[in-house]
Structure 1
Amino acid sequence: MDSRQLTYFVALAETNNFTRAAEKLYIAQPALSMTIKKLEQQLGLCLFSRNERKVELTDEGKVLFLHAKAIIQKINDAQTAMAELRGLEKGEVRVGIPSMLGSYFFPEIIMGFKSQYPHLKLSIVEAGTQSIRKMIIDGELDFGVIINHDLPDSLHPEPLLKSQMVAVVSENHEFSKYKSLSFADFFNQELVMFKHGYFHRETIDSICEKYHFTPNISFETNLLAMIFKIVRQDFAITTLLEMVTEYEPKLVPIPFEQPILLDIVMAWRKTGYLSLADQAFIDYVKQHCCQQ
């Protein structure tokens, strides 16, 4: 069993299709089929169940998949480390950022970092907390910005900032003059919310579960511009990070009577390798936060 066999095995396990896996690997399909067959013969186990449309991992295959993913990630980390010892920087930072922070907190940081390190490439993925966590664990991202809640033991959190979630209404809404808002009043209104998987929605869902509220969600969207328009035109109200409302006209932020404070961190795999480029970006973000 070698790294090439494991790479082919993981590609097939992730695509469930020989043709798509071969295309992903840039090899001929017969070569992939032969490699998988040889791997199964070496192990004396059937790793995939096959039918006309797709292949699926057997129970034995699922066990190997967990180990194979970890081994391949370790090999990639080792290659990056050795390249840097030869003076060949990785040259790319892969980071996951939620949409609200990506739109209102990180643009200045990203442009400043790029000005300081013009030869490094920034690959930014906008996604929800759950997706970012998974992509970090799977090695698809070097690190990401997430909420420090139910963090897997495999991830290391680095404090980034604390921010308050507030109710947000239009200037004409009856709540616009309120100094604070109860959860009961908020959940009695029609709401526009992010979809499941985003910390915005996770926070609301956890409050509902804790206090036994049933939210009246009229709209679900991850598009900030659409959320703003729906709220401004009084079709619904929402919750956002307080920092967002500082930049958006005709929106009124209202703190909750029971404040919602979020602990936002940068996180990466404890056993993962941070390249020089990754570490430079993390240090730059930390320096920027200290100046706020």
Structure 2
Amino acid sequence: MKLMERLETFIVLAECGSFTEAAKKLFCSQPTISHHIQKLEEQFAAPLFIRTGKNAQLTKQGEIFLQYARQIEQQMQQAHIAVQNSMKQESMLLSVYVSQYFANYYFDDILPKLHHQGARYRLEINAYCYEDLKQALVDRRTNWAIMPYYPDDEYIRSEFTVHTMFEDEFMLVLPPGHSLNLRKTIYTRDLQDETVLIPRSKFMVGSLQKELGRLELKVQYLQMSNFEVIKQAVKSGLGIAFLPHQALRKEIETGELAARRLPFFRYHRQNGLLLRNDTPYSLEEISFFERMRSYFSEEQPALGEIADLGGWNL
């Protein structure tokens, strides 16, 4: 695997342009970086970098090789996935990639039903935040995922077909004793100068801020890591929030939090099955897709209809 190590070193150095930074990213010494590049240059009998101190700039030959190096790296990743998928099919193991939100607030009901339905495969569940889940798609560790869909995400919009399973309704979340919760009607002006707690999710933050901006509200934003932390912060009186109803069910039932629908606030987030375009799927995967879709709606189109509309392929 020496060649692959050298290719990785070459790509990282080309991207960061610094021996120091490349060594940090690869967790190795700078002499190791230099040695790998030297061996590649000897192999191709051509200079790949112009060295100026600890910095490195690609030569014309280096730019040509970079294109091929990235293709080789991608091919190796795809080969790894193909081999792993083959192994999983043989052992009837289905690798499922889902958003942390979906795993936290839906799987407690879905998984027992899947088990009782007698699925012919075992599930390997990988739950990530949106950015990490998207990176798994970018790296082709998976060709599909169950996750939120943001139309502003150009990569997802262009590379995947989205089969919407449900929509989240975002509601105003307050501590039960908050003055706004005591009002029969909440007006837009009542939210002026409030502290709004938001998650560390670029696309969700953008969507929420766009909706609040439409209302011409002047509020203070305070970022928290995820919905669970935000709920705890709201309970402690650190601010108000807008969260999906599904994430609030338990706290509403126990009276720990109050949720209000606002007629002037209209933010719904799609969640669904994202399938990479022009990609074949196994019978086990298609079976799982159908089970997920039927869980959320009995009125979804049948498998044949979905395939005709550019859905999953056998």
Question: What range is the shorter-chain TM-score in?
Answer: 0.7 to 0.9
3-state SS in 2 of match to 1:103: helix
The Cα of 1:283 is off from its aligned counterpart by: 2.5
Structure 1 CA distance for aligned equivalents of residues 163 and 142 of structure 2: 16
Q: 1:49 to 1:285 in 2, by over 3 A?
A: farther
Aligned partners of 2:81 and 2:141 also within 8 Å: no
1:245 paired to 2:248: yes
CA distance in 2, matches of 1:232, 1:136: 35
Per the alignment, residue 124 of structure 1 pairs with 126
Which one of 263, 286, 305 corresponds to residue 279 of structure 1?
A: 286
TM, length-normalised to structure 2:
0.68
How far did 1:195 drift?
Answer: 1.5
Contact 1:167–1:181 (8 Å) recurs in 2? no
* Cα distance change on mapping 1:94 and 1:243 into 2, 3 Å: closer
SS at match of 1:153: helix
Kindly provide the amino acid, as one letter, of the partner of residue 95 in structure 2: V
Q: Determine whether 1:185 maps to 2:174.
A: no
C-alpha spacing 1:57/1:239, structure 2 compared with 1 (3 Å): farther
Larger Rg: 2
Quickly say closer, same or farther: Cα 1:210–1:185, change in 2 above 3 A.
same
Shift of 1:258: 3.4
Which one-letter code corresponds to 1:104 in the other structure? Y
By how many angstroms is 1:12 displaced? 6.5
- Unaligned 5+ segments in structure 1 are 24-28
Q: Partner letter of residue 270 of structure 2?
A: D
Give the letter for the 1:162 counterpart: E
Counterpart of 1:103 in structure 2 is 104
Q: Is the 1:179–1:255 Cα contact (8 Å) retained in structure 2?
A: no
Give the direction of change, closer, same or farther, for the CA distance of 1:66–1:286 in structure 2 (3 Å limit): farther
What secondary structure does 2:265 align onto? coil
Instruction: Quote the Cα distance in structure 2 between the aligned partners of 1:290 and 1:20.
Output: 46
Q: Structure 2: which amino acid aligns with 1:252?
A: A
Equivalent position of 2:296 in the other structure:
289
CA distance in 1, matches of 2:165, 2:191: 29
**3-state DSSP class of the match of 1:132?**
helix
C-alpha distance in 2, partners of 1:92/1:33? 41
Q: Taking structure 1 as reference, are residues 253 and 127 closer, same or farther at Cα in structure 2, changes over 3 Å only?
A: same
Q: How many residue pairs align between the two structures? A: 278
Matched residue, 2:174: 169
Task: State yes or no: 1:265 paired with 2:267.
Answer: no
Other structure's SS at 1:247 match: helix
The question of 1:155 aligning with 2:160 is answered yes
- Equivalent residue number for residue 235 of structure 1: 238
Tell me how far apart the structure 2 counterparts of residues 259 and 149 of structure 1 sit (CA, whole Å). 16
Offset of 1:149 from its aligned partner?
1.4
- Residues 123 and 81 of structure 1: CA distance in aligned 2, closer, same or farther (over 3 Å): closer
Partner Cα separation in structure 1 for residue 286 and residue 53 of structure 2: 46
Q: Quick one: higher RCO (CA 8 Å, sep 6+), 1 or 2?
A: 1
**8 A Cα contact 2:92 2:120, kept in partner:** no
TM-score by length of 1: 0.72
What's the CA shift for 1:187?
Answer: 4.9
Kindly report which structure 2 residues correspond to 1:6-25, keeping only aligned pairs within 5 A, or say none. Answer: 9-10=7-8, 13=11, 17=22, 21=26
Question: Secondary structure of 2:90's match?
Answer: coil
Deviation at 1:168, TM superposition (A): 0.7
Looking at structure 2, the residues matched to 72 and 109 of structure 1 have their Cα atoms a distance apart, in angstroms, of 35
- When structure 1 is superposed on structure 2, of 278-287 and 64-73 the one drifting more is 64-73
Assess, with a 3 A threshold, how the Cα gap between structure 1 residues 260 and 41 changes in structure 2: closer, same or farther.
Answer: same
Q: Is the 8 A contact 1:157 1:266 kept in 2?
A: yes
1:245-267 alpha-carbon deviations (Å, 9 max, x no partner): 22213312112323212222221
Instruction: Say whether residues 1:207 and 2:214 are aligned partners.
Output: no
CA distance in 2, matches of 1:274, 1:36: 43
Percent sequence identity is 10
